[in-house]
Amino acid sequence: MVRAVGNTLIRQRQRGGPGNVYRYLGRRLLHSIPVVVAVTVGAFVIIVLVPGDPALNMLGYNATPESLAILRRDLGLDRSVPEQFIGFVRGAVVGDFGESILKKEPVRDVIATRAVISFSLLFYSAVTAVVVAVPLAILSAVRRNRWQDHLMRLGSMITFAMPSFWLGLLLALFFAIRLGWLPVAGYDKTNVLTILRSLTLPAATIGLFLAPILARTLRSSIIEVLDQEYVEAARARGYRESRVIGRHVMRNSLIATVTVLSLIIGFMISGSVIVENVFAIPGLGSLIVDAVLQRDYPVIQALVLFFGLTVIVINLAADLTYAAIDPRVRLVTG
Amino acid sequence: MTGAGRPGDSTKDVLLRVEGLTKGYPVRRTLGERIRRVPARRLMAVQNVSFEVRQREVMGIVGESGSGKTTLGRSLVRLVDPDEGTVLFDGVNVRAVDGSDLRRLRRRVQMVFQDPFTSLNPRMTVGAAILEAGKVHGLVETGRHDEFVSRHMERVGLTATLADRRPRQLSGGQRQRVAIARALAVGPDMIIADEPVSALDVSIQAQIINLFRDLQDRLGLTMIFIAHQLSVVSQVADTVAVMYMGRIVEHGTLEKVFGRPEHPYTQALLASRPDPNPRHKGDPPLRGDVPSPLDLPPGCKFATRCPFVEDECRQVEPALEGTEPRHLVACHVKPRPWEGGIS
């Protein structure tokens, strides 16, 4: 990524637009500011809009007035709303979201340990999706309107239509219970291998949910490129079909994959909430479910903000990646 | 300008021989037609075409759009698979080869396409495209990449400093030069240029035509040059084939076909050339309708528009036969040669 951006930079300089990449990056960051503000306000408002008294909601009706008062003070609920907001933003900037009511640990630490697990899972899922989708998309595009294509499109419709928890249960039933190849659920962090084994079924579940979207977009973009004259020209020069597809077709089709991947990152995060619960993976998804059920407001606030920022960062990264993949994408906004 | 297209002459130096080449495309039937079980039809793009191209000879193919020029050019390297007929390139049966043999053949017969805006991969720099062509066929020594690229760029009149550019950053003429350089980079024996100048501005067309002539002189290339503009073909070709409705109707040396055309269609084509003198009244344009390529009349395909049409023309399709050495015409009537052509 860094190297790719570097290449873009060199090209920009050659074109006589010095520092174009930085200007672009700066502009995109500026555009992100309103979104970040909105997400922050949204995360903060959660605690203000909770009907009734948050402290009472959290501690239950049997709480003593003293403990309620302590919690209100800890949460800053005894101050005015603007003061609370400033306090929240101040804390957010340095990553301080207070203490988890449930775990009695700083929210930051709770999120950090689980974020590693969740991001490994997301990455694993994305890799699975790409590994499944790319060959299928190529096969389907090259064998356009033949049985291979129809099978792929039907199959992708089916896996896409299946709810992810159902797909997850089916996979667990078959690979974990029937064949016994992988653990049914849980997260064994003994070593890298056991971690991989624990994450395989959840990653396959999310990956199989994503792969159809990816495969279908990629299929249509491959078909579009296949019809281009430069592909025929490459064949006419006596190149192998594998080279024609790999070097001339795929590189021009990949931009669609990047777009779709970045767009469905939101899906992936919400998908991971369900899948992590199905497979008992202690990631952010199961954390947010626990936090909501237990009314652990500091954790909820922090997670909402964290998910929002993650999506913003990923989209920005995707935009920069386009420019690296496709030199024709001009780094101009607006 | 020497050489001829007459089959049966010396066969020793014939590089490409095409016999009875036929290619049709299936026409999709509408749902109603399928229900009524109307038989599937084929649109015959090229019908029973035969010709020869000798070593170092440039054959021009002219014809209006839809006459089958492009399909003919593409079937010679199997970008389109012909239905019938034989194509022999330097003794190799083009229709029988496959896999690596086909790739080897395609190296020897290079194509230059009409639109240099679409025939170059937008992602690849000029240098990378030229280098790839050489590398795939093992023609570049390691460590001499830059030299290979600059040699081929300079040969088509491009400065080597453009090697880092992408097609988008070049003009149409420059792009077509890149496409030519890329074709020449694999060391071909023959070039099939499919309307290589039609997409360019008129001022650029002349430059590219000159480049083709120059390269042909220096490298001794054999070439098939497809164009719809007679003026373009007359500048590069040694022999000319005129196509109409997928058939060759006249074929011979440039002097004969353009100088003393015998087929009424060729005569009409030449007569309809734009005349620089506005006071000069041209012959009346052709009357009659072009037949639907899906529903061709049984006899001569030009019968519907021909001023000399006779009864026989509507019944029997004329064969392409020699009227004099190195001149073949497909016409029953054979009106007297028209002397108003380009001489």
Residue, of B8 and B227, whose pLDDT is higher: B227
**A164, A283: one domain:** yes
Query: In A, what residues contact B, Cβ < 8 A?
Result: 14-15, 228-230, 232-240, 243, 247-248, 251-252, 326-328
Interface test with A, best of B78, B98, B121 (most A CBs within 10 A): B121
Q: Per the domain annotation, does A258 fall within a domain?
A: yes
Residue, of A153 and A322, whose pLDDT is higher: A153
Query: What's the average model confidence in pLDDT over A315-323?
Result: 75
- Report the C-alpha gap between B150 and A114 in whole angstroms: 56
Of A83, A84, A82, nearest in space to A54 by CA = A84
Q: Give B54's contacts (C-beta < 8 A, 6+ positions apart).
A: B3, B13, B14, B15, B222
**A86, A119: one domain:** no
Helices A265-278 and A192-226: angle between axes, nearest 10 degrees: 150
Residue A235 has pLDDT above 60, yes or no: yes
Residue B16 has pLDDT above 50, yes or no: yes
Residue, of A298 and B247, whose pLDDT is higher: B247
**A183, A224: one domain:** yes
Specify the pLDDT at position A179: 84
Show residues of chain A in contact with B113, CB under 8 Å. Answer: 229, 232-233
Cross-chain residue pair B118–A327, CB shorter than 8 Å: no
Specify the pLDDT at position B341: 63
The number of helix segments (H) and strand segments (E) in chain A equals 15, 0
CB B44 within 8 A of CB B246: yes
Q: Per the domain annotation, does A319 fall within a domain?
A: no
Confidence of residue A266 (pLDDT cuts 50, 70, 90): low
Residue A134 has pLDDT above 60, yes or no: yes
**A129, A85: one domain:** no
Show residues of chain A in contact with B169, CB under 8 Å. Answer: 15
Among candidates A14, A228, A237 on the partner chain, residue whose Cβ is nearest the Cβ of B106: A237
Q: Does B163 touch chain A (CB under 8 A)?
A: no
Specify the pLDDT at position A99: 77
**A84, A160: one domain:** no
Q: Give A32's contacts (C-beta < 8 A, 6+ positions apart).
A: A312, A316
Q: Which two tokens stand for residue A218?
A: 């990629």
Cross-chain residue pair B104–A238, CB shorter than 8 Å: yes
pLDDT in tens, A46-60: 777 777 677 777 777
Q: Does B184 touch chain A (CB under 8 A)?
A: no
Among candidates A238, A252, A326 on the partner chain, residue whose Cβ is nearest the Cβ of B106: A238
Cross-chain residue pair A238–B179, CB shorter than 8 Å: no
> Closest Cα of chain B to A333: distance in Å?
20
User: 3-class DSSP state for residue B274?
Assistant: coil
Specify the pLDDT at position A33: 87
**A59, A149: one domain:** no
**A143, A216: one domain:** yes
pTM: 0.74
What share of residues in chain B are helix, strand, coil (percent, to 5)? 30, 20, 45
Specify the pLDDT at position A20: 64
Q: How far is CA A224 from CA A237, A256, A259, B19, B78, in A?
A: 21, 11, 16, 35, 22
> Closest Cα of chain B to A31: distance in Å?
29
Residue, of B257 and A100, whose pLDDT is higher: B257
Strand order in the sheet with B42-54: B42-54, B14-26, B84-89, B92-93
Show residues of chain B in contact with A230, CB under 8 Å. Answer: 118-122
Among candidates A228, A236, A248 on the partner chain, residue whose Cβ is nearest the Cβ of B106: A236
> Closest Cα of chain B to A93: distance in Å?
42
Q: Dihedral (C-alpha) B131, B133, B134, B136: value to the nearest 10 degrees?
A: 110
> Closest Cα of chain B to A138: distance in Å?
19
Q: Per the domain annotation, does A327 fall within a domain?
A: no
ipTM of the complex in this document: 0.79
> Closest Cα of chain B to A233: distance in Å?
6
Cross-chain residue pair B119–A230, CB shorter than 8 Å: yes
Cross-chain residue pair B136–A243, CB shorter than 8 Å: yes
Q: Per the domain annotation, does A309 fall within a domain?
A: no
Residue A18 has pLDDT above 60, yes or no: no
Domain boundary among A93, A121, A156: A93
What average pLDDT is seen over chain A?
Answer: 80
Q: Does B179 touch chain A (CB under 8 A)?
A: yes
Show residues of chain B in contact with A236, CB under 8 Å. Answer: 77, 79, 106, 110-111
pLDDT in tens, A161-189: 888 788 888 888 888 888 878 887 778 77
Confidence of residue B211 (pLDDT cuts 50, 70, 90): very high
- Report the C-alpha gap between A5 and A324 in whole angstroms: 6
**A149, A44: one domain:** no
Domains in chain B (CATH in brackets) are 14-27+42-118+190-329 (3.40.50.300)
Domain boundary among A53, A68, A93: A93
Specify the pLDDT at position B149: 92
Cross-chain residue pair B110–A236, CB shorter than 8 Å: yes
Show residues of chain B in contact with A224, CB under 8 Å. Answer: none
Q: Per the domain annotation, does A322 fall within a domain?
A: no
Range of the domain at A204: 109-294
> Closest Cα of chain A to B70: distance in Å?
13
Q: Which two tokens stand for residue A85?
A: 């907001």
Cross-chain residue pair A238–B186, CB shorter than 8 Å: yes
Burial of B142 (C-beta count, 10 Å sphere; 0-12/13-18/19+): exposed
Show residues of chain A in contact with B77, CB under 8 Å. Answer: 236
- Report the C-alpha gap between B55 and A193 in whole angstroms: 66
Q: Which residue of A has its CA nearest to B106?
A: A238
Q: What is the DSSP letter of B163?
A: G
Q: Which residue of B has its CA nearest to A251?
A: B123
Number of Cβ atoms within 10 Å of the Cβ of B79: 18
**A68, A184: one domain:** no
Lowest mean pLDDT among A186-200, B64-78, B163-177, B181-195: A186-200
Query: What's the average model confidence in pLDDT over A74-89?
Result: 81
Specify the pLDDT at position A16: 39
Lowest mean pLDDT among A105-109, A265-269, B147-151: A265-269
Domain boundary among A93, A124, A156: A93
Percent of chain A residues topping a pLDDT of 70: 89
**A129, A173: one domain:** yes
> Closest Cα of chain B to A228: distance in Å?
7
> Closest Cα of chain A to B202: distance in Å?
23
Specify the pLDDT at position B3: 41
**A240, A166: one domain:** yes
How many domains does chain A fold into? 2
Residue B1 has pLDDT above 60, yes or no: no
User: 3-class DSSP state for residue B168?
Assistant: helix
Q: Per the domain annotation, does A261 fall within a domain?
A: yes
> How many beta-carbon pairs below 8 A join chains A and B?
64
Residue A3 has pLDDT above 50, yes or no: no
Q: Per the domain annotation, does A209 fall within a domain?
A: yes
**A87, A115: one domain:** no
Residue A35 corresponds to which amino acid? Answer: V
Cross-chain residue pair B121–A234, CB shorter than 8 Å: yes
Q: Per the domain annotation, does A331 fall within a domain?
A: no
Cross-chain residue pair B166–A327, CB shorter than 8 Å: yes
Q: Which residues pair with B244 in a beta bridge?
A: B247
Cross-chain residue pair A240–B183, CB shorter than 8 Å: no
Confidence of residue A334 (pLDDT cuts 50, 70, 90): very low
Query: What's the average model confidence in pLDDT over B175-185?
Result: 92
CATH number of the domain at A250, please.
1.10.3720.10
H-helix or E-strand spanning residue A100 = none
Provide the sign of the torsion angle of the four alpha carbons B38, B39, B40, B44, taken in this order: negative
Q: How far is CA A11 from CA A172, A253, B163, B302, in A?
A: 49, 21, 13, 56
Cross-chain residue pair B133–A237, CB shorter than 8 Å: yes
Residue, of B331 and B6, whose pLDDT is higher: B331
Cross-chain residue pair B110–A240, CB shorter than 8 Å: no
